Chain A
């Protein structure tokens, strides 16, 4: 049962107060009509499903209803931190850049 720090409420609460909202920062094609079925299908269905450090979204459904970003290790369940979606995005992009160079 995780403890998640809601960056909006400023409170750390039990997992039961939140709902998992899936992988974070999946960009929706700006021109869906311009992409082919495969590209569209990749967006709708394909997922990183990372074993290891992973950026995901949680929503504080029992309280402020805000969606925020969590960086969590899906193998050890260690939580590196929680951020607002905006703050987390910069860190997420930095992580992805690092992964590309590897």
Chain B
């Protein structure tokens, strides 16, 4: 493992030298003509895949990550940073919980502070059916070994004093599910952390490299055409989120995906006021507060397909209204900036981690609006798949052929608002 260690001591040491002696966070290398494994997509999931592949399966050989923009510049740079594992079905809860456990040790593992803050997540219920669904999910979580509690309105108010739990709201809060171990992390730091760690293990990280075609013959992948030249490889993992269908098309495949804009916005930075994460399906909005003091707010996707990383303004307006419905004192708070990403949603709101009809070509996609929380887990599991050529126990249920057998895993409820 090459490279400098990050620590308080290193900060002091380098500080005395005016920080002139810091090494690059990751090594800048030229694209080589061939690799043993190529990961297409240098976002959080792709970088995590590269790291766990190099760490857990060094025998695979030389690994590259090809990113058409800048590392972590897709949805990783744009999400609202919520981390939780309180999903409904055994299969999905398992993979998100696997991810959450990795989050809990990630800063130390990467030697990079990803600022994972386990401040809890509340999913509010506003109708009787909301509360039934919350009961169902919490009881399942308890049996899955995931921390979960059902709270009534009074208990929610005790934990979140700023939330209006009164009966006078249009959709009064009836209760919530609470996962204490859930929370937020710093999205850019996660990308940087995995990039650095992967680079230290010898992975080639190539920015500005766009895959434009796939070389397939005899039902097998042989190489990738890129704007920087041909790359020979027989093992490719596509982790390109909203652009997954674009890549699939190069292999003559179609995916059960729709790429939609997902918007979010931040408020101006303020003194600490919200200490947890609050999500509401019913009023359609969720919120947390970053360490810098900004309220980070999001909601649902735009209804149309969109690769423009932007959506329609009425979605932002409805989201602002949702936040005010929950926190009527926040209407004088100002939105500082809004943006959008491209989320690849599946019909059952569960990911696709799968082999394809092309030998050696694997896809990890369909995380839709809930990919950030899965970053380490997804990478870890996909690394196993790339190394072994087969899904491990956590990935098995997410094969794309579930859309042929009918074995969908419907997480729309737990996936919630956007997330």
Contact = CB atoms under 8 A, between A and B. Distances in A.
Within 8 Å by CB, do A and B touch in the complex? yes
Interface of A: 1-2, 15-16, 19-20, 22, 37-38, 40-42, 44-51, 54, 56, 72, 74-77
Contact of B245 (A22, A42, A47): A47
Contacts, number: 71
Interface stretch (B113-121, B200-208, B308-316): B308-316
Which residue, of B245, B257, B304, has the highest number of chain A Cβ atoms within 10 A?
B304
A20 B256 contact: no
Contacts of B404: 37-38, 40-42
Contacts of A49: 245, 254-255, 257-259, 305, 344
Contact of B403 (A2, A16, A41): A41
B305 A45 contact: no
30 contacts: A1-B312, A1-B314, A15-B314, A37-B404, A37-B405, A38-B404, A40-B404, A41-B405, A42-B254, A44-B347, A44-B403, A45-B256, A46-B255, A46-B256, A46-B403, A47-B255, A47-B257, A48-B254, A49-B245, A49-B257, A50-B305, A51-B243, A51-B246, A51-B259, A56-B304, A56-B305, A74-B305, A74-B308, A75-B307, A76-B308
B237 interface: no
Given A47-B257, A49-B258, A51-B307, A16 B314 contact: yes
Given A1-B313, A41-B404, A47 B254 contact: yes
Interface residues of B, number: 25
A25 B306 CA distance: 19
B49 to A, nearest CB: 22
Given A16-B314, A41-B404, A51-B245, A46 B254 contact: yes
Contacts of B218: none
Interface of B: 243, 245-246, 254-259, 303-308, 312-314, 344, 347, 401, 403-406
Contact of B312 (A15, A19, A45, A76): A15
A75 B406 CA distance: 32
Given A38-B401, A38-B404, 6 more contacts: A37-B406, A49-B257, A49-B344, A50-B245, A51-B245, A74-B304
A45 B313 CA distance: 29
B322 to A, nearest CB: 16
B303 A19 contact: yes
A79 B257 CA distance: 22
A74 B306 contact: yes
B258 to A, nearest CB: 6
A55 to B, nearest CB: 11
